[in-house]
Amino acid sequence: MSEEPVAKVIPSDDFPYYSGRYWNNQDQVVRELNLRATGDPDVPWQDHLQKKFGTFDRALILNCGNGWVERELIEKGVVRSAVGVDFSSDLLGQAARQASELGMRLEYEQLDTNTAKFPEGPFDLVVNHAALHHVAYLDRVARRLCEILSPDGVLVSWDYVGSHRNQYSGAQWEAAWRVNLELPEEIRQNMRYPHLPTMLATDPTEAVHAELILPTLKRYFRYEHFRHLGGGVGYLLLTHNDALHSRPVGEIAEHVEMVMRADAALLEKDPESSLFAYWVSRPDPDRVTDPGQLESWTAEEDRREAAAGAAGGVYYPPTAVGALSEALSAAELAHAQALAAAQNASTPAPGPPPVASPVDRDAVIAATPGRELLIVALSRLQARAAARIGSWRQRRVSR
């Protein structure tokens, strides 16, 4: 195993910690997720973990952030002590201060989880609460977690396991889109496909290899409890939907219920569409220990990360919807820049306002799946831009 990651995959310094409102800010959603995870809407995963596996002496909390997960585990009596690790010194400072004020047996260490240089074990519990979907070196980390866990220890996970960097398939996006149209217009989600260039600039760790989490962990752990949690419709329509979250619960309850019914229907029809999962696993006594196979997995991972580093952080070709979305975003930006230049011009100019970073229409269309839709969209944008610039010219002539 190589000593250091080839390239660091970390968020920008100013990236916010859990900003906005998510689907699980709604109590209806929480109860439904509890039901899917534990079989009881009134039993959250922490209580299920304790009931099935008992109380733990020493836990390792991955990417602990401000420490709310481990504080809750101690308050519920699930763990007696814990060590939290995170890359952010600011968040670790917040976690340590609150632990001290509450007199909890919590310690904190700053590290990049990708290095897998965790505090010395043994631990009888490792908690992955929305942590591993931010990890690039999954094989390195999974292997080390297996080593520092006691033989009968537990890895509990509640995590995003959906599409890489939220680049959803066309079928998944369409499923959510159709349900969105059933919502009253005033609380519909503004469905904007996740913009990969923005993600790379702000938080390249987000869902970096989410689709690899489950198969990679299975190399080293056996699953004792596994449940798909869905989200293919619910997460997309309810998360960051400010119009919906800003309304009273009584006003939106039936609409949230409708969305979650559609989410459950999609999950039943296609379990692999699930964006989230809850599972409990233990180190597999029959896991692969062959040095040749382990070295092969390490080399594969190092090559993948080196290639992505050389490609600006990009791992895979764009999805059809992603390529179309990026092309439209570029066209909208060019249009906005042209319009701003026309509106802000204060003196006559020899020609139309310049367009910064113009879109090469033919090149974009040739490289993009679903080109018929793209042709129509770009044509409309260009027509709007031409009309605006024509209007600018007329105003210039009339002066």
Question: For the domain that residue 146 is a member of, what is the CATH number?
Answer: 3.40.50.150
Whether pLDDT at 252 is above 80: yes
pLDDT band for 360, please (50, 70, 90 cuts): very low
Q: Evaluate whether 47 touches 24 at the Cβ level (below 8 Å).
A: no
Q: Evaluate whether 159 touches 134 at the Cβ level (below 8 Å).
A: no
Whether pLDDT at 370 is above 90: no
Whether pLDDT at 15 is above 70: no
Residue 11 belongs to some domain of the structure: no
Q: What is the mean pLDDT of the chain?
A: 87
Query: The tokens 């585990």 sit on which residue?
Result: 73
Q: Do both 152 and 236 map to the same domain?
A: yes
| Last residue in a domain, options 310, 338, 364 | 310
pLDDT band for 18, please (50, 70, 90 cuts): low
Range of the domain at 376: 320-398
Q: Pick the residue with more confidence: 302 or 373?
A: 302
Q: Do both 139 and 174 map to the same domain?
A: yes
Q: Do both 95 and 162 map to the same domain?
A: yes
Residue 7 belongs to some domain of the structure: no
Residue 5 belongs to some domain of the structure: no
pLDDT band for 325, please (50, 70, 90 cuts): confident
Secondary structure class of 279 (helix, strand, coil):
strand
Q: What is the reported pLDDT for 145?
A: 97
Residue 4 belongs to some domain of the structure: no
* Structure letter (DSSP) for residue 81: E
- Choose the weakest-confidence range: 162-171, 212-221, 356-365: 356-365
Q: What is the reported pLDDT for 327?
A: 86
Q: Which helix (H) or strand (E) holds 229?
A: strand 221-230
**What is the biggest distance separating any 2 CA atoms in the chain, rounded to whole angstroms?**
83
Whether pLDDT at 116 is above 70: yes
Q: What is the reported pLDDT for 330?
A: 84
Q: Evaluate whether 331 touches 353 at the Cβ level (below 8 Å).
A: no
Query: The tokens 């092309």 sit on which residue?
Result: 327
Secondary structure class of 78 (helix, strand, coil):
coil
Whether pLDDT at 394 is above 60: no
- Rounded CA separation 274/395 (Å): 54
| Last residue in a domain, options 248, 275, 310 | 310
Q: What is the reported pLDDT for 388?
A: 47
Q: Pick the residue with more confidence: 188 or 377?
A: 188
| Last residue in a domain, options 287, 310, 333 | 310
Secondary structure class of 16 (helix, strand, coil):
coil
C-alpha distances (whole Å) from 229 to each of 43, 84, 219, 260 are 15, 25, 22, 11
Whether pLDDT at 354 is above 80: no
Q: What is the reported pLDDT for 292?
A: 95
Strand order in the sheet with 276-283: 106-110, 79-86, 56-61, 123-129, 149-160, 276-283, 221-230
Q: What is the reported pLDDT for 235?
A: 98
For the record, the structure tokens of 102 come out as 């509450």
- Rounded CA separation 207/131 (Å): 10
Residue 270: phi, psi to the nearest 5? -140, 85
Residue 211 belongs to some domain of the structure: yes
User: Region 121-130: what's the mean pLDDT?
Assistant: 96
Query: The tokens 């009273």 sit on which residue?
Result: 248
Q: What is the reported pLDDT for 371?
A: 44
User: Region 247-258: what's the mean pLDDT?
Assistant: 97
Sign of the torsion angle spanned by Cα atoms 84, 89, 93, 95: negative
Query: The tokens 């504080």 sit on which residue?
Result: 71
- Rounded CA separation 207/275 (Å): 11
- Of 224, 199, 155, 158, the C-alpha closest to 24 is 158
Q: What is the reported pLDDT for 352?
A: 53
Residue 253 belongs to some domain of the structure: yes
Q: What share of the chain is helix, strand, coil (3-state, %, to 5)?
A: 55, 15, 35
Q: Do both 94 and 208 map to the same domain?
A: yes
Query: The tokens 């709007």 sit on which residue?
Result: 384
* Count of structural domains within the chain: 2
